[in-house]
Structure 1
Amino acid sequence: MVNIENILPVYKVENDSIVSVQGDITVVFKVTHKDIFTASADDYEGAHHVLVKGLKVLPKNTVFHKQDIFIKSKHQARSDADMGYLAKTGEAHFEGRPYLEHTCYIMLTKKPDERKTASSGYSGLMRKRVVPKQTTDEKLFLDFMEKVGAFEQILSDSGYLHLKRLTDDELAGTKSKAGIIESYCFLLSPNEKPMLKDVHLKDEIRIGDNHCQLFTLSDVEDLPSLCGSRVNYDKYSTDKSNFSIGFASPIGLLLDCNHLYNQYIFIGDAQATLKGMEKKRLRLQSLSAYSRENAIARDATSDFLNEAISEQRLPVKAHFNVMAWTDDVTQLQPIRNKVGSAMAQMDAVARQETDGAAQIWWAGLPGNAADFPMNDTFDTFVEQATCFMNMEGNCSSDGKGIRFGERSHGRPVYVDLFDKPMKTGLITNRNLFICGGSGGGKSMTMNHMLRTLYDEGTHCVTIDIGGSYKGLCTLVNGYYFTYTEESPIKFNPFYIGKGEVLDIEKKESLKTLLLALWKREDERYNRSEYVAISGAITLYYEHLKKNPLLFPCFNTFYDFLMLEYMQVMENGKVKEKDFDMSNLLYVLNPYYKGGEFDYLLNATENLDLLNERFIVFELDAIKGHEVLFPVVTIIIMEMFISKMRKLKGKRKILAIDEAWIAIAKSGMANFIKYLFKTIRKFNGIAALITQEVDDLLSSPIIKETVINMSDTKLLLDMRKFMNKFDRLQDALGLSEKAKTLLLSVNKANEKGRMYREVFIDQGGQELKVYRNELSVAEYLAYTTEESEKMLVEEYTARCNGDMEKGIALLIREKYSKPISKH
C-alpha cells in the first residue's frame, strides 16, 4: 500500500491553476455544451472548426485534456408547499427517474520544455515518493495565460461552447464540497459530499466498491477508417431528412452507464515532428525492398507529410479512452458489451486496457495530463483528432416555466417560453402557434401549459370546440360557458364599469364587432362607413353621460342610432352612397329586442369577468352557425381585450383552439391582426391551436398574421402531412434544421413510457424537441377520450363533485398500473 499523498502529482493550487511537482501548469474550465439532439450538421461542422481554431493558438508542449463525466443519477421531485394538485402529481410521477448526469471539463496543461516524456514504464505512479523539481516560472505562466485567454475567447465567442474557469476552491475543494481532483480520485458525483475511498490498482482499477474497466482508442488499427464532425442518427432520420449527432455521441450521453470519456490532444513542436516523420519515411524507403509492409508504411508516411505541408495541417498526438464502472460485479460483462457496441457504432474497435490501465487512469487526474504514457498515443492531425470530441450535453433547464422532459431519458426540465427569451431578445412577442395532426397531443400540451400558467397567476381565456378543457376548468373551479338553446351565451360588449372610460382599444373592438355584424364575409366597407360607425360609438357614450339612467347595451345603442344618430347624419347631409343608415339598422335588427338574437348583446348579469382567472367558452354547438359563431368569438375576444387593458402587471393568455371558421372570416382579419400585434404590450399571450393544415396553407390571414406574429411555434407529430411538407415548411418559415427536428418527433419513443413529443421553435433560433409526459392524474384531467371523460365524471360525482378526490379514487381503483396511452 502506498499513501496517495506521497505520490500525488499535484504540488499546489494557486492563481486558479494547478501546479504539478514536475512544474506543469494546468488551467481548468467547466464546459457547457449545446443540448443533445438539437444541433444540425452545420452546427457540428461549425463547432469542429472553432475547436480546431482554438487548439491552433495554444503553444507547443501543451496538452489539451477534455474530460466528460457521465454518472447515473435519479431525479428528485420538487415539493413546494404552494404547488397545486396536478403539479404535485406531476412531480411525484418523475420521482426517481434515472438519467445520466453530465459534467465536462477542459484542462490545458503547459509542460516545461525540458520535461522528460512519460511512458507506461516511466510514470509518477511507479514511484514511492515524488519530490517537487522546480517552481513555476512567472514569465512562462504569463505567456501561457495569454494563449489560454485567446483559446477561451475563440470558443466562448462561437456560441457552441460556454467556458467558465474554475477557482482554487473548485479545483482543490473545501471541507464541505469536493473539488475536481478529489472527485476524479474517488468517483464522486457533483453533489456528493467529500468521502475518502481506497484505490486498488494491482489487478484491476477498483475505487471503493466500484469496479472500473478501461477501454482505449490508441492504436491506429482500432480506429475508424473515416471520421467527421457528425454522423447520421438513424433512429430520428427519415426519407426526407438526415438527423445529425456528434461523431463521439455513442460513447457520450448515448452510452447508458457510469463512465468517463477522456480526450487528449498533445501539441508538440510541429517542425520537429515533421522532421522526425521525414527521417522515418527515408528509413522505410530503404527497407521497402525487403517488405511490402515497409512499402505501405512508407507511402502512408509520405501521404501524411504531403497533407501536412500542402494543407497546412497541425500534426499532433492523440488518445481517447472510456472508463466505465459499476459496484455490481455481475454488470461488468454487460458494460463491456455496451462499450463495445458503442465504439462499433463509430466503426472503431474497443480495446480493453489491462497492463497499462493504471498509468492511463493516473494521467487522467486533473493537472497530471503531462504524465500520460506517450506510447499509448497515435499520430494524427488536429482536424481528425477533434472529431472524437464529445460536443453535446444534457438538456438544459430554465428552473421555471412549463415542465417538459428531455428526449433521452425523460428527466423533467423546465422551459421558460416567455420571460427569459424576451429578455435575451430571442423573441419579440409571447404569442404561440400550435399545430399538429389529430391525436398528436395538441390538447394535452395546451392543457398542460394552461394549467402551469394558471398556477403562476396568469388569467387564462380559452375558445374551444370539442370540450377539450372542461376537465381542467372544473378542477381549477373556473367558468365554463357552453351554448344551449335553453341557456344561450349572453354578452354585453357595450358595458363599461365604474371609473372606466371609452378608450381607443374599446372603441376599436366595438367598431370591429359592428362592422362584422353589418358586412358579409366578402363585402368590404369604405372609409366613410368606418368613420360613421366610429362617430356613432363616440356620440353614443356621450349620450349615456347625459342620460345616466340609460343602461349601456346593444338595445340602447340601436335606439340611439334610430332616434339620435339618424338626425346627425341628416344634419351633416351625409349621402346614402357614403353611409346607408337604413341598411345598417335593417341588418342589425335581429340583435335588437324582439329579434332572433336579441339575447346575444344585451346581458345584464355576468357583465364583469375581469377577476375570473380561468374561463372556457365551449362553442361546439354553434361552430357551424354563420351568424352566431363569428359574433360570439369576436365578443369573447373583446372581453379578453378588456382584461388585457385593465389587469396591469398581470399575465393573460387567449387560447383559440380550432376556431378556424371564425378566424377565416375576412371580417375578423383586422381584429386578429390587432390582437396579435398589440397583446405583447400588455404582458399578454395570444395562442392559436389547429390541426387543419389545409387551412393553414390556404389562409393568407393565418400565414401573414398569426404565423408571422407568433415567435414561438409548438409543432407536434406532422408525419401524416409528409406529402405536403414542403408547402407546410414554406408556410411556417421552417429552416432545414427545423424540418429535420420536426420530422424526428415521435420517431423513436422510449418503450414502456407513454408520451408525445413536441417541437418548439423560438424566433427561428432556439429549436428543441421535448417529451410531454404526464402523470396519470394529469392525463385524466386533460383527456378528450369520451369513455375516460365519463369515467372521471362518474368518480367525481361519487366524491360529491370534488374532482381532485374523484381522480384520486379512480387512480386507486382503476389505474394502479400506468395508463396505456397519453
Structure 2
Amino acid sequence: MINKIEKIFPIYTIEEDLLISKFGDVSLVYELKMPQIYSLDKEAMDSINLIIDKLIGSLPPGTIMQKQDYFFVTDLKDPIARGTNMLSRSDNSYYFEKPILTHQCYLIFTKDSKNKVNITNNTTKYEKYLEGIDGFISDIDISVSFLSKEEYFSANRLNSDQIIDLLGKYFSLSSKSDNKLKDIFLDRQIQVGNKVGEVYAITSNNELPINIDSYVRNKEYSTQRTDFFIPYIQALCLGLECNHIFNQIVYIEKSEDVFKSIKVKMNNFKSLSLLSKENELNHNNIEDLVENVIDKELKFIKQHFNIIIWEDSKEKLEKSRNNLENIFREMGMRPYHIKYSIKDIFLNSGPGAATRIPEEYKFIGISEQTASLMNFESYYESFKDGILLCDRKNEAPIRLDLWDEPVQRGHIVNRNRLIFGPSGTGKSFLINHIASQYYEQGHHIVMIDIGNSYKKLCKLVGGQYYTYDVDHPMEFNPFYIHGEIDIDKKEFLVSLIMFLWKGESSFTKEEKQIITLYLDAYYVNLKVHTDIFPKLSTFYEFVMENRVEYNEEKYFDKLSFDLSVRDFYDGKYRHILNSEQPVDLLHERFIVFEMDNIKDHPVLFPLITMLSIDVVMGKIRQLKGIKKSIFIDECWKPISKGEMAEFIKYMYKTVRKHYGEVAIATQDIEDILETSAGAAMINNTDTMILLSHKKKMASKDKLGTHLSFNEADLEKLFSTDKREVFIKVGNVSNVYKVSVSKERYACYSSNANENQFIFDRYAKHKNMKLALNEFVNRK
C-alpha cells in the first residue's frame, strides 16, 4: 500500500527554528561534531560515557533526546585538487567516482506534549502549549552548552532551512535533501522512489548481550605488546559500509514513573515464572538490575535504538542485510527485524517525531550504560588545504592541515616536524608526497638530501637541483649581508667560524666570545673601509692583522686559528666561502641540495649542509607572509654535533619567526637521541610523523619517554602497516593511509629498476612529465 506523504508526514511546521510535530511536540535540532574514528582511547571513551550520563541527567522530565547518525555511500565526483599541473590532475582522476561513506550526526531534543491526538487543529490548546516552551529551550541551551564545553564535541543549532534539509534527507533517504518528498511504500519494507530498505530495532534488554563494555579490542590493529581498542558500537556505525541511519532515542521520565513500569514487568514475569524458565530468568535479570541501580544511585531511562538500511536494488539490499546480520551476531545482539510495524517505526523515528514510538518498542536501561550503545565517532576531519591523505577505513581522500589550523586551535606553537621512517617503510616516498602537495599550494620548498630521492619531483616542477662536485665546487658567501647583521645571522657565522677552526673538537666560552668580538669589529670596519668586500678571506685577514682584547692571546690561540682556517683562505677550499656573486634563490620555489657525492667527507659534508641552509635562511627572512618548508633528509647528522647543536637551535628559531618549518627526517629515534642537538630538536618540534614501527617494538619505551607519547599514541603507532602513517599534532594523534595515483607513484618511487626506466626516458626527452607518462602507460 502506497502512503501519501502529506497524510502520514508527522511534522506540522517549522517556525523560529523550532520543529513542531502534528501532536504539538516541539524540538530543537543541533548538528553534532564528534571525535575522529580511531582517535579515542579507553580513557576517552569512559570520559565520554560520563559526559553523556551527565547530559541525560541534566534534561528535564518529559524530554526526548534523539541522536541520529546518517551514513551515506556516495561516489566522489567533485575535484579534490585545484591545481592544473600533472600531479594535481592525476589526483582528480584517481579518486573520481570512488565510493566513500559519509557521516553526519544530529542531536534532537523534543518536549513531549503528552497529547494523544493532533492538537494542531485546536488553535487555543496549541497556543497555550507553546507558552510554556521558553523554559524548555533555556534548559536545553544549558545542557548543550555543557556538552560543547567538553573537548570531544561541538554542537551548532540548526536554523529553519537546515531543519527542512534534514527532514528531506530522512524521508527521502538521500544525502542531498529532497524537499519535494515522494510517496512512501511501507509494507514489511520501506520503498522511497527507487530505494528499498529495512529496519532492525533493539526493543528489549534480551536482545542485547548480558554485559556490554564501552570498548572492545580490535584484533587487526593490536599487536603482541599493544592493545588497540575501538568503541563497542563502531561495527554498526562507521564499520557498516552501506547506506544506513542509526537512531538512538532516550526518554527522560520521572524516576517513580519508570519504577512503576519496572514493578509491573517484574510482577508479570514472576507470576509466569512457573510456565517457563525464560520468564523466571527475565524476572531475576530485572531484579538484579533494580538492585544495581539502587545501590549505585543510578538513573533508569526508557530507550529505543533502530537501524535503517537501504539500497537502490533488492539485490544490493540483500547483501547489505546479510552483512548487517553478521555484525549483529559478532556483537552478540539479537535485534528485532521490523516488518509489520515498519510504518510506525520509520515515520516516528524521523526528526522530532519520536514521541510516537509505540511503548512495546521501548525498553528500560540505565543512563550510565546507554552511552555504550551510542555512536560518538565520526570520519576524519578534512580541510581546505594540506596534505592529501586517506582515512584508513575505506581510503576516502582527506586533507590534513598541519600548518594553520593546528596553530589557530592552539594545538601547536611551532610548525616544525620530525619524521621517523625505519628502512623500507617509505620515508622518502612520504616526504616527496608532502613536498609536492605543499609546492602545489604555494609553498617555497627547500630539500637537503643524500640519495637523489627528490630529483624526479624537482625536474617535474622545474626547480633548481644542486649537486656538489668536488672538481667544480658550489660557491657561497655567508659573510655578504644586505643591511645590518642581525643576531640570528651573527649566531650562524659564529657557529660557522668555530666549525672551521675547531671542527668537532670542544672549545671554551672565552674562545667563542673572542670570535664574536672579532666578527663585530669586522663589520664595523667594513663601514669605514667600503673598498673591502665581505667574505671569508677578508675576515681571515682582519683577524690575523688585528686584536680585539688587550691580552687575548691568553684565551685565543691565533696560530691554531690560522692553521685551521687557512685552507679556506687560500688553500684547497678557497672557492667555497669567497664567492663575489652570492647565490640568489629568493624567487626559486623548489630547490634541492643533493649531498650524495660528499656524504663521507668529514669537512665538506657538514660545511656545505650548513651553507646550503644559510642560503635558505636568507631567503626565508626576505619572503614575508609566504609559507616556507625546509626538508632535511638524513643530512642533519653532521650538523648536530658540538657547536653545530647551536646551529640547529638557530635554524629552528629563525624558521619559526618567519612563517616557516623545518622537517627533519631519519630512520630511528636513536639517531636523534645520540646527538647533542637531539633535545633541542625534540623540544622545538610540535608535530611528529612516524611510519610503521611494527618491526621496532623495542623502541616503544623510548618513544614514550622522549617523544611524550602516551599509551594511546603508542597503540595507534604500532597498529600502522605499510603505506600508513601516524601523525601527532600537539596532543592530537591519529593514523592515515598514503594512497596515490599512478603518476604520483612514478614520481616518488625509489625502486631502482623503475627509476632507471624513467631517467632513461628523461635523458631522451629532456622532459620529466613525458618520462613519467611513459612509465605509467608502459604496459
Mapping for residues 41-120 of structure 1, pairs under 5 Å? 41-78=42-79, 82-113=83-114, 115=116
Q: Which residue of 2 aligns with 1:165?
A: 157
- Conservation of the 8 A alpha-carbon contact between 2:348 and 2:355: yes
Q: CA deviation at 1:767?
A: 0.9
- Conservation of the 8 A alpha-carbon contact between 2:415 and 2:660: yes
- Conservation of the 8 A alpha-carbon contact between 1:199 and 1:205: yes
Q: Which residue of 1 aligns with 2:543?
A: 561
Structure 2: which amino acid aligns with 1:574? Answer: N
Q: How many residues align?
A: 776
Give the distance between the partners of 1:279 and 1:77, measured in 2 at CA: 57
Question: What CA deviation, in whole Å up to 9, does each residue of 1:119-169 have, x standing for no partner?
Answer: xxxxx9xxxx99568415234312211221122112111122221111112
- Check if 1:349 corresponds to 2:350: no
Mark the CA change 1:788 to 1:293 in structure 2 (over 3 Å): closer, same or farther.
closer
Mark the CA change 1:470 to 1:730 in structure 2 (over 3 Å): closer, same or farther.
same
Q: CA deviation at 1:97?
A: 1.6
Give the distance between the partners of 1:347 and 1:288, measured in 2 at CA: 25
Mapping for residues 638-657 of structure 1, pairs under 5 Å? 638-657=614-633
- Conservation of the 8 A alpha-carbon contact between 2:389 and 2:738: yes
- Conservation of the 8 A alpha-carbon contact between 1:7 and 1:130: no
Q: Which residue of 1 aligns with 2:520?
A: 538
Give the distance between the partners of 2:324 and 2:258, measured in 1 at CA: 33
SS of residue matched to 2:734? strand
- Check if 1:766 corresponds to 2:722: no
Give the distance between the partners of 2:329 and 2:185, measured in 1 at CA: 30
- Check if 1:811 corresponds to 2:779: no
- Conservation of the 8 A alpha-carbon contact between 2:34 and 2:377: yes
Give the distance between the partners of 1:779 and 1:505, measured in 2 at CA: 39
Give the distance between the partners of 1:410 and 1:53, measured in 2 at CA: 36
Give the distance between the partners of 2:227 and 2:349, measured in 1 at CA: 36
Q: Which residue of 2 aligns with 1:489?
A: 474
Give the distance between the partners of 1:717 and 1:490, measured in 2 at CA: 40
- Check if 1:253 corresponds to 2:259: no
Q: CA deviation at 1:71?
A: 0.8
Give the distance between the partners of 2:100 and 2:261, measured in 1 at CA: 47
Give the distance between the partners of 1:287 and 1:351, measured in 2 at CA: 23
Give the distance between the partners of 1:590 and 1:106, measured in 2 at CA: 74
Match of 2:486 among 481, 491, 503: 503
Match of 2:699 among 721, 724, 727: 724
Mark the CA change 1:810 to 1:652 in structure 2 (over 3 Å): closer, same or farther.
same
Give the distance between the partners of 1:279 and 1:81, measured in 2 at CA: 64
Mark the CA change 1:779 to 1:285 in structure 2 (over 3 Å): closer, same or farther.
closer
Q: CA deviation at 1:283?
A: 6.0
Runs of 4+ in 1 over 6 A off after TM superposition: none
Q: CA deviation at 1:270?
A: 1.2
- Conservation of the 8 A alpha-carbon contact between 2:269 and 2:280: yes
Mapping for residues 567-646 of structure 1, pairs under 5 Å? 568-569=547-548, 572-593=549-570, 595-605=571-581, 607-646=583-622
Percent identical pairs in the alignment equals: 32
- Conservation of the 8 A alpha-carbon contact between 1:25 and 1:367: yes
Match of 2:720 among 745, 751, 767: 745
SS of residue matched to 2:384? coil
Give the distance between the partners of 2:204 and 2:673, measured in 1 at CA: 56
The 10-residue stretch of structure 1 (203-212 or 711-720) with the greater mean CA deviation from structure 2? 203-212
Give the distance between the partners of 1:142 and 1:523, measured in 2 at CA: 75
Structure 1: which amino acid aligns with 2:755? Answer: K
Q: Which residue of 2 aligns with 1:757?
A: 724
- Check if 1:312 corresponds to 2:297: yes
Q: CA deviation at 1:526?
A: 2.3
Mark the CA change 1:503 to 1:340 in structure 2 (over 3 Å): closer, same or farther.
same
Q: CA deviation at 1:101?
A: 1.2
- Conservation of the 8 A alpha-carbon contact between 1:6 and 1:130: no
- Check if 1:692 corresponds to 2:707: no
- Check if 1:386 corresponds to 2:352: no
Give the distance between the partners of 2:121 and 2:160, measured in 1 at CA: 22
Mark the CA change 1:525 to 1:90 in structure 2 (over 3 Å): closer, same or farther.
farther
- Conservation of the 8 A alpha-carbon contact between 1:519 and 1:667: no
- Check if 1:243 corresponds to 2:231: no
Q: Which residue of 1 aligns with 2:530?
A: 548
Match of 1:183 among 169, 180, 185: 169
- After TM superposition, the score normalised by the length of structure 1 is 0.90
Give the gaps of 5 or more residues in structure 1.
117-123, 173-178, 747-754, 815-822
Q: CA deviation at 1:279?
A: 5.0
Question: What CA deviation, in whole Å up to 9, does each residue of 1:465-510 have, x standing for no partner?
Answer: 111111111112222111223222322212235xx33232222211
- Conservation of the 8 A alpha-carbon contact between 1:623 and 1:661: no
- Conservation of the 8 A alpha-carbon contact between 2:3 and 2:185: no
Structure 2: which amino acid aligns with 1:617? Answer: F
Question: What CA deviation, in whole Å up to 9, does each residue of 1:377-432 have, x standing for no partner?
Answer: 22211222221101111111111111111111212111111112112221101111
Give the distance between the partners of 2:80 and 2:689, measured in 1 at CA: 28
Q: CA deviation at 1:352?
A: 2.1
Structure 2: which amino acid aligns with 1:372? Answer: I
Give the distance between the partners of 1:291 and 1:479, measured in 2 at CA: 84
Give the distance between the partners of 2:440 and 2:92, measured in 1 at CA: 14
Q: Which residue of 1 aligns with 2:5?
A: 4
SS of residue matched to 1:188? coil
Structure 1: which amino acid aligns with 2:384? Answer: G
Q: Which residue of 1 aligns with 2:33?
A: 32
Give the gaps of 5 or more residues in structure 2.
none
Mapping for residues 216-235 of structure 1, pairs under 5 Å? 216-235=201-220
Q: Which residue of 2 aligns with 1:364?
A: 349
Q: CA deviation at 1:287?
A: 6.2
- Conservation of the 8 A alpha-carbon contact between 1:11 and 1:132: no
Mapping for residues 108-507 of structure 1, pairs under 5 Å? 108-113=109-114, 115=116, 134-136=125-127, 137-172=129-164, 179-190=165-176, 192=177, 194-278=179-263, 280-281=265-266, 293=278, 295-497=280-482, 500-507=483-490
SS of residue matched to 2:388? strand
Q: Which residue of 1 aligns with 2:748?
A: 782
Q: CA deviation at 1:547?
A: 3.7
Q: Which residue of 1 aligns with 2:761?
A: 795
Question: What CA deviation, in whole Å up to 9, does each residue of 1:290-337 have, x standing for no partner?
Answer: 765554444333222222222122112222111111112222321121
Question: What CA deviation, in whole Å up to 9, does each residue of 1:228-273 have, x standing for no partner?
Answer: 2222222111122222222211110110111111112222221122
- Conservation of the 8 A alpha-carbon contact between 2:641 and 2:676: no
- Conservation of the 8 A alpha-carbon contact between 2:66 and 2:354: yes
Q: Which residue of 2 aligns with 1:707?
A: 682
SS of residue matched to 2:34? strand
The 10-residue stretch of structure 1 (246-255 or 443-452) with the greater mean CA deviation from structure 2? 443-452
- After TM superposition, the score normalised by the length of structure 2 is 0.95
Structure 2: which amino acid aligns with 1:64? Answer: M
- Conservation of the 8 A alpha-carbon contact between 2:14 and 2:20: yes
Give the distance between the partners of 1:674 and 1:335, measured in 2 at CA: 58
Q: Which residue of 2 aligns with 1:736?
A: 711
Structure 2: which amino acid aligns with 1:726? Answer: D
- Conservation of the 8 A alpha-carbon contact between 1:404 and 1:771: yes
Mark the CA change 1:83 to 1:506 in structure 2 (over 3 Å): closer, same or farther.
same
The 10-residue stretch of structure 1 (613-622 or 298-307) with the greater mean CA deviation from structure 2? 298-307
Give the distance between the partners of 1:402 and 1:720, measured in 2 at CA: 26
Structure 1: which amino acid aligns with 2:756? Answer: M
Give the distance between the partners of 2:122 and 2:199, measured in 1 at CA: 29
Give the distance between the partners of 2:688 and 2:80, measured in 1 at CA: 31
